[in-house]
């Protein structure tokens, strides 16, 4: 035990000596959370559109101004004919064109029907969907108001909606937990994967191997200091998300912290495991960064919900701990769930941790023989 | 020139020697593209609904089966009480609760208008909005049909006055692969270029081999060029492979000219590698560089409009984004690939990339000191 503590002390000294890395280590997650919480969002705000009004009557002018007054759109181009639309899209300033046909108002008043065409830029499907939904709602809303004077019909069924957990529909609720999940696994895996390969590359690993420390002790000794550092990181991040983004913690704080500990332990053991399979720091960095960045970004349900992915991805993302942690952290913070609701997800992360630690220890023994 | 060629030969043989890195550069990204590009869709489908039916009438059952019958929703459970419904939502067993209060049908018949309560899990604001819009549309159809029935009796018909038709250009079926491939490709090229070049430079520092370079008559700009050109070429190869995969595996069209795209990509890589080398002159160890690179790549990527619309960011962030090379390449890639934009359409982006490339390359040359 005394030997082990001595080893941990050595590790701490190594870490604190390199104060630059330490500053980066604490600075980065905090800055990133703030930037992403404030900047990244999926909402539609002031998207550029164009209105091609071939009618220019009282009604089309009023509908157009209702669209621009909504705050979701601004007019970014003014094509004069349908032939110019392609050129406008190719410049990339607008997301959609709304076209009112000739004699729109007259037809609406005399015949009671009229056509509107929306052409949306499909190269960004999400935005296209949202633009289409919003403009349709605005146009319908305006014209329904106009038609109230005519023969009004009362709807027999009126649906009423309650947006649970996030009544203001803020995208923070998606992005802050997602960024926490992403940053923690990357930072943890990068830290430990580099620290062991560093010993290998500089040759000091041999010294450790011939010391009376057992493989388990070496691995735990490497993990322990980073575990404490990462835990401080977690606390900083949670404080930020609470005070800056008003993200609630509805569930138990103790449970949340315990789950975070488990998750960083998983990240650190993953890093250790990576380090046992590579020879140089460069390789370790490449594998952990390139291998983890995109899968954790895309398959964790952080930006794109897993439910909407083709069935097979439900299984592929199954092996990715970030997927489970996103669920855990959202459930505890936003829904106020207890362990009873998330034990399955917790079990998966626990299993991944044990697997990574087990594999690392085995690999380590092999090297000794 | 000859000096530069020798230096380039040295760099290339060093890169190729490292088998694992070569594999990581090419196989890892291509594998990820194949797996990740088709993953993402935002098509609402099979959203799970729990029905809490306090009315148990013909109308409420009819609405429930209409929802279940639509391709967007599946009714996964019936709750006996409001509490039970709330519990299933909190456990994550359903995404939407539709509740009918007692007297639901009676109010329809008497014509006072009946309220149907819809509770949506709104943690993901975008999918909550879409879900609600679809439910609303289904109920509107139901209501219209009912109203029509009532009015036919009275000798009138009711139909919406304005017909809105929507078309999607450049990707008429809103296939997400068209959207993801350029994005994922840009991320991979960015991460690889940024990591490789910077780590390579810092490694020379860490192992001390840079001292040997410093005492040779190699000029500063030659040295920096020799650290940029190999990775620029690797980046362009990566891009070509990605485009080939897009064409062969996913059938994504390429509308514009390859020259325009590679011009944009070359300017982009020059800027990115310049920045990487500039940062590496402030880092003593690979670990330090790695964390700084991590910081920049994450910010570049998430602010670039790859997955979220760049227009939704606050004005100050959009202004900052002018210095973000990834945002420009992202726009260029999508515009050239899908819309067939030509050089005159993307002039602002190309200009910005040129300035970034010149600035960072210059900084990289200036910050490299031939003294220890």
Nearest CA in chain A to B315: A39
**A-chain residues within 8 Å CB-CB of B120?**
161-164
Taking contacts as CB-CB distances below 8 angstroms, the residues of chain A near B130 are 129, 133
Please report whether residue A93 resides in a domain: yes
pLDDT band at A152 (very low <50, low <70, confident <90, very high): very low
Token pair, residue A261, equals 């500990």
> What pLDDT is recorded for position B156?
47
A154 in any annotated domain = no
Does B286 contact chain A (CB < 8 Å)? yes
Identify whether residues B266 and B117 lie together within a single domain. Answer: no
A354 near B CB under 8 A: no
Question: In what side-by-side order are the strands of the sheet with B47-53?
Answer: A157-164, B114-121, B96-100, B47-53, B73-79
- From chain B, the residues in CB contact with A171 under 8 A are 125-126
Q: What is the 3-state secondary structure (H, E, C) of chain B?
A: CHHHHHHHHHHHHHHHHCHHHHHHHHHHHHHHHHHHCCCCCCCCCCEEEEEEECCCCHHHHHHHHHHHHCCCEEEEEEECCHHHHHHHHHCCCCCEEEEECCCHHHHHHHCCCEEEEEEEECCCHHHHHHHHHHHHHHHHHHHHHHHHHHHHHHCCCCCCCEEEEEEEECCCCCCHHHHHHHHHHHHHHHHHHHHHHHHHHHHHHHHCHHHHHHCCCCCHHHHHHHHHHHHHHHHHHHHHHHHHHHHHCCCCCCCCCHHHHHHHHHHHHHHHHHHHHHHHCCCCCHHHHHHHHHHHHHHHHHHCCCCCCHHHCCHHHHHHHHHCHHHHHHHHHHHHHHHCCCCCCCHHHHHHHHHHHHHHHHHHHHHCCCCC
CB contact A83 to B (< 8 Å): no
pLDDT for position A146: 65
Q: Does A139 touch chain B (CB under 8 A)?
A: yes
pLDDT of B157: 45
> What tokens does B299 get?
């910010």
Q: Specify whether B198 is located in the same domain as B248.
A: yes
Q: Are residues B246 and B99 in the same domain?
A: no
Q: Residue B95: is it exposed, middle or buried by C-beta count within 10 angstroms (0-12/13-18/19+)?
A: buried
pLDDT higher than 80, residue B147:
no
pLDDT of residue B340: 85
Q: Which of B114, B291, B346 sits opposite A25 (nearest CB)?
A: B291
A200-207: average pLDDT: 80
Asked whether residue B163 is domain-assigned, the answer is no
Query: Do B55 and B145 belong together in one domain?
Result: yes
| Whether residue B227 sits in one domain with residue B329 | yes
* Residue B210 contacts residue B204 (beta carbons within 8 Å): yes
Confidence band of B354 (pLDDT split at 50, 70, 90): very high
- B358 CA to chain A: closest CA distance, Å? 25
List chain B residues with CB under 8 Å of A187: 294
Neighbours of B357 (CB within 10 A): 21
Is A111's Cβ below 8 Å from some Cβ in B?
A: no
Contacts of A283 in chain B (CB under 8 A): 18, 20-21, 24
Substitution target from B189, B308, B335 for chain A, most A beta carbons within 10 A: B308
Read off the CATH number of the domain in which A140 is found.
3.40.1710.10
Instruction: Give the Cα separation of B167 and A74 in Å (integer).
Output: 20
* A270 plus A352 within the same structural domain: yes
Is B160 a member of any domain? no
- How far does Cα B325 stand from its chain's mean position? 16
Residue A293 CB neighbours (<10 A):
21
Phi-psi region of B216 (alpha: psi -120 to 50; beta: other; left: phi over 0): beta
The ipTM estimated for the assembled molecules is 0.82
A178 in the same domain as A143: no
Residue numbers of A between 199 and 238 with CB closer than 8 Å to B: none
Interface of B with A in 127-156 (CB under 8 A): 127-130, 132-133, 135-136, 139-140, 142-143, 146-147, 150-151, 156
Quick check: is B165 in a domain? no
Share of chain A above pLDDT 70, in %: 95
B298-324 pLDDT, tens per residue? 889 888 888 888 877 888 888 888 999
Query: Tell me, what's the pLDDT at A147?
Result: 57
Range of the domain at B261: 2-40+174-367
Do the domain assignments include residue B169? no
Q: Are residues B27 and B147 in the same domain?
A: no
Q: Of A147, A182, A197, which residue is a domain's last?
A: A147
Chain B nearest-CA residue for A44? B312
Task: Supply A117's token pair.
Answer: 């065409």
Under DSSP, is residue A53 helix (H, G, I), strand (E, B) or coil?
A: strand
Asked whether residue B161 is assigned to any structural domain, the reply reads no
**A125 CA: distance to closest CA in chain B (Å):** 5
B355, part of any domain: yes
Are residues B181 and B327 part of one domain?
yes
Mean pLDDT of A319-346: 87
Q: Tell me which of A41, A50, A91, A282 to substitute to probe the interface with B (most B C-beta atoms closer than 10 Å).
A: A282
Task: Give the model confidence (pLDDT) of B254-282 as tens digits.
Answer: 888 999 999 999 999 999 999 999 999 88
Q: CB B295 to CB A28 under 8 A? A: yes
Examine the domain organization and report whether B9 and B24 are in the same domain. yes
Contact B298, A180 (CB under 8 A): no
Answer whether B125 sits within 8 Å of A157, measured CB to CB: no
Confidence of residue B234 (pLDDT cuts 50, 70, 90): very high
Q: Is residue A362 part of a domain?
A: yes
Looking at the structure, tell me whether residues B8 and B51 fall in a common domain.
no
Q: Does B40 touch chain A (CB under 8 A)?
A: yes
Instruction: Write down the pTM of the prediction.
Output: 0.83
Interface contact flag, A155 B38, Cβ < 8 Å: no
Q: What's the token pair of residue B287?
A: 């670990």
- Picking from B24, B166, B308, the nearest residue to A286 by CB comes out as B24
Q: Which two tokens stand for residue B171?
A: 């990707």
**Same structural domain for residues A229 and A108?**
no
Backbone phi and psi for residue A10, each to the nearest 5 degrees, phi listed first: -60, -45
Query: Does B179 sit within 8 Å of A286, measured CB to CB?
Result: no
CB contact under 8 A, B170 and A331: no
Q: Find all residues with CB under 8 Å of B210, minimum gap 6, and list them.
A: B201, B204
The whole-angstrom separation of Cα B126 and Cα A127 is: 10
| Cβ pairs A/B, distance under 8 A | 358
Residues A350, A218, single domain; the answer is: yes
The token pair at B331 is: 């726009």
A58 and A194, same domain (yes or no): no
Neighboring chain B residues of A316 at a CB cutoff of 8 Å: 35, 39
In angstroms, rounded to a whole number, what is the distance separating the alpha carbons of residues A21 and A32? 16
Least confident of A271-275, B150-154, B246-250: B150-154
Average pLDDT in chain B: 85
Is some CB atom of chain A closer than 8 A to the CB atom of B355? no
Probe site for chain B from A52, A143, A298, A329 (most B CB atoms < 10 A):
A298
Distance from CA of B229 to the nearest CA of A (A): 19
Chain A: residue whose CA lies nearest to B121: A164
What's the rounded Cα separation, in Å, for the pair A305 and A327? 11
Same domain, B141 and B197: no
Query: Using CA atoms, how far apart are residues B230 and B241, in angstroms rounded to an integer?
Result: 17
How confident is residue A154, by pLDDT bands cut at 50, 70 and 90? low
Residue of A nearest to B124 (CA): A174
Name chain B contacts of A277, Cβ cutoff 8 Å.
Answer: none
Indicate if A185 and A267 belong to the same structural domain.
yes
Residues B288 and B146 grouped into a single domain: no
**What digits encode the pLDDT tens for the residues B48-88?**
999 998 888 888 888 888 889 888 889 988 988 888 888 88
3-state secondary structure A318-367: HHCHHHHHHHHHHHHHHHCCCHHHHHHHHHHHHHHHHHHHHHHHHHHHHH
**CA–CA dist B174, A124 (Å, integer):** 8
Chain A residues within 8 A of B40 when measuring between CB atoms = 298, 304, 309
Q: Where are the alpha helices (DSSP H) in chain A?
A: 2-17, 19-39, 58-69, 85-91, 104-110, 125-147, 172-202, 204-210, 215-243, 253-277, 281-298, 312-316, 321-330, 339-368
The answer on A267 and A195 residing in a single domain is: yes
pLDDT band at B253 (very low <50, low <70, confident <90, very high): confident
Best of B23, B26, B126, B151 to disrupt the A interface (most A CBs within 10 Å) is B126
Whether residue B221 is contained in a domain is answered as: yes
Burial A156-192 (b: 16+ CB within 10 A, else e): bbebebebbbbeebbbbbbbbbbbbbbbbbbbbbbbb
A336 and A187 within one domain: yes
B58 touches chain A (CB under 8 A): no
* Residue at A153 is within a domain: no
- Asked if residue A32 belongs to a domain, the reply is yes
How many independent structural domains does chain B possess?
2
Tell me the residue range of the domain where A95 lies.
47-147
Residue A156 maps to a domain? no
> Is A17's Cβ below 8 Å from some Cβ in B?
no
Q: Which residues of A touch B95 (CB under 8 A)?
A: 307
Of these ranges, B171-185, B282-296, B325-339, the one predicted with the greatest mean pLDDT is B325-339
Residue ending a domain, choose from B91, B126, B154: B154
Over residues A63-80, the pLDDT tens digits come to: 888 888 888 888 888 888
Chain B residues near residue A47 by CB distance under 8 angstroms: 309, 311-312
What's the gap between Cα B369 and its chain centre?
38
Same domain assignment for residues A363 and A255: yes
CA-to-CA distance for B257 and A75, rounded, in angstroms?
A: 29
Q: Are strands A114-121 and A96-100 parallel, antiparallel or unpaired?
A: antiparallel
Final residue belonging to a domain, choices B154, B187, B202:
B154
Contact A282 B147 (CB under 8 A): no
- Whether residues A135 and A263 share a domain: the answer is no
Indicate which CATH number applies to the domain containing B65.
3.40.1710.10
Residue A159 lies in a domain: no
Classify the C-alpha dihedral A204-A207-A208-A209 as positive or negative. Answer: positive
CB atoms within 10 A of CB B259: 11
214-273 in chain B: CB under 8 A from chain A: none
A241 and A285 part of one domain = yes
- A218 with A331, same domain: the answer is yes
Question: What pLDDT does A369 receive?
Answer: 39
> Total structural domains in chain A?
2
- Evaluate whether residue B348 is within a structural domain: yes
How big is chain A, counted in residues? 369
In a domain, A165, yes or no: no
Of A162, A303, A307, the CB nearest to B117: A162
Which of B93, B124, B154 finishes a domain? B154
* Distances A304 to A28, A295, B181, B307 between C-alpha atoms, Å: 24, 12, 15, 9
Mean pLDDT on A337-350: 89
In terms of domains, do B182 and B79 share one? no
The number of residues making up chain B comes to 372
- Give the span between the Cα atoms of B346 and B207, in whole angstroms: 43
């Amino acid at each position: 035990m005394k030997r082990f503590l001595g080893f941990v002390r050595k590790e701490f000294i190594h870490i604190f000596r390199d104060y630059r890395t330490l500053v980066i280590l604490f600075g980065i997650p905090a800055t990133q959370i703030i930037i992403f919480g404030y900047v990244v969002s999926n909402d539609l705000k002031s998207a550029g559109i164009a209105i091609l009004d071939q009618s220019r009557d009282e009604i089309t002018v009023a509908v157009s101004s209702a669209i621009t007054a909504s705050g979701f759109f601004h007019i970014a181009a003014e094509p004069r004919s349908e032939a110019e639309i392609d050129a406008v899209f190719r410049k990339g300033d607008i997301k959609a064109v709304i076209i009112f046909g000739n004699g729109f108002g007259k037809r609406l008043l005399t015949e009671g029907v009229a056509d509107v065409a929306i052409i949306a830029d499909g190269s960004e499907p999400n935005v296209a969907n949202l633009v289409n939904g919003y403009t349709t709602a605005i146009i319908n809303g305006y014209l329904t108001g106009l038609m109230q004077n005519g023969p009004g019909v009362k709807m027999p069924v009126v649906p009423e909606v309650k947006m649970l957990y996030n009544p203001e529909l803020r995208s923070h609720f998606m992005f802050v937990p997602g960024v926490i999940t992403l940053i923690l696994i990357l930072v943890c895996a990068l830290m430990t994967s580099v620290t062991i390969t560093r010993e290998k590359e500089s040759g000091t690993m041999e010294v450790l191997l011939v010391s009376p420390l057992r493989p388990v002790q070496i691995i735990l000794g490497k993990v322990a200091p980073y575990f404490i550092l990462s835990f401080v990181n977690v606390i900083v991040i949670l404080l930020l998300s609470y005070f800056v983004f008003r993200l609630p913690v509805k569930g138990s704080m103790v449970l949340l912290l315990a789950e975070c500990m488990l998750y960083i332990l998983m990240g650190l053991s993953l890093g250790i495991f990576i380090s046992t399979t590579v020879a140089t720091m460069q390789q370790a960095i490449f594998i952990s960064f390139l291998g983890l960045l995109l899968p954790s970004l895309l398959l964790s349900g952080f930006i794109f919900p897993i439910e909407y992915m083709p069935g097979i991805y439900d299984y592929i993302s199954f092996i990715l701990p970030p997927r489970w942690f996103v669920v855990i952290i959202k459930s505890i913070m936003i829904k106020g769930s207890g362990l009873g609701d998330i034990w399955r997800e917790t079990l998966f992360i626990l299993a991944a941790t044990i697997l990574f630690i087990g594999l690392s220890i085995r690999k380590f023994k092999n090297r000794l023989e | 020139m000859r000096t530069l060629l020798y230096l380039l030969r040295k760099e290339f043989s060093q890169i190729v020697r490292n088998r694992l890195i070569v594999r990581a550069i090419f196989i890892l990204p291509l594998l990820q593209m194949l797996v990740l590009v088709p993953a993402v869709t935002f098509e609402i489908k099979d959203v799970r609904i729990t029905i809490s039916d306090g009315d148990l009438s013909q109308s409420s059952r009819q609405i429930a089966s209409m929802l279940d019958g639509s391709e967007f929703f599946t009714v996964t459970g019936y709750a006996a009480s409001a509490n039970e419904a709330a519990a299933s939502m909190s456990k994550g067993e359903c995404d939407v609760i539709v509740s009918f209060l007692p007297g639901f049908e009676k109010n329809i018949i008497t014509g006072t208008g009946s309220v149907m309560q819809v509770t949506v899990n709104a943690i993901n604001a975008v999918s909550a909005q879409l879900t609600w819009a679809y439910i609303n549309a289904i109920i509107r159809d139901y209501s219209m049909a009912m109203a029509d029935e009532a009015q036919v009796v009275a000798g009138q018909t009711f139909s919406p006055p304005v017909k809105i038709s929507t078309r999607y250009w450049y990707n008429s079926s809103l296939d997400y692969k068209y959207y993801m491939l350029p994005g994922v490709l840009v991320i991979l090229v960015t991460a690889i270029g940024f990591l490789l070049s910077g780590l390579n430079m810092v490694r020379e520092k860490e192992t001390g081999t840079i001292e040997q370079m410093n005492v040779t008559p190699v000029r500063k700009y030659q040295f920096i060029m020799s650290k940029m050109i190999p990775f620029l070429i690797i980046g362009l190869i990566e891009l070509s492979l990605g485009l080939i995969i897009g064409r062969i595996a996913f059938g994504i069209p390429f509308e514009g000219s390859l020259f325009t795209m590679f011009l944009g990509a070359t300017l982009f890589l020059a800027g990115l590698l310049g920045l990487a080398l500039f940062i590496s002159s402030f880092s003593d160890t690979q670990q330090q560089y790695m964390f700084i690179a991590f910081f920049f790549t994450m910010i570049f990527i998430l602010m670039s409009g790859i997955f979220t619309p760049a227009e939704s960011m606050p004005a100050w962030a959009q202004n900052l984004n002018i210095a973000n090379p990834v945002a420009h390449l992202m726009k260029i890639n999508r515009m050239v690939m899908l819309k067939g934009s030509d050089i005159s359409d993307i002039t602002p982006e190309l200009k910005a990339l040129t300035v970034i490339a010149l600035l960072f390359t210059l900084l990289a040359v200036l910050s490299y000191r031939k003294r220890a």
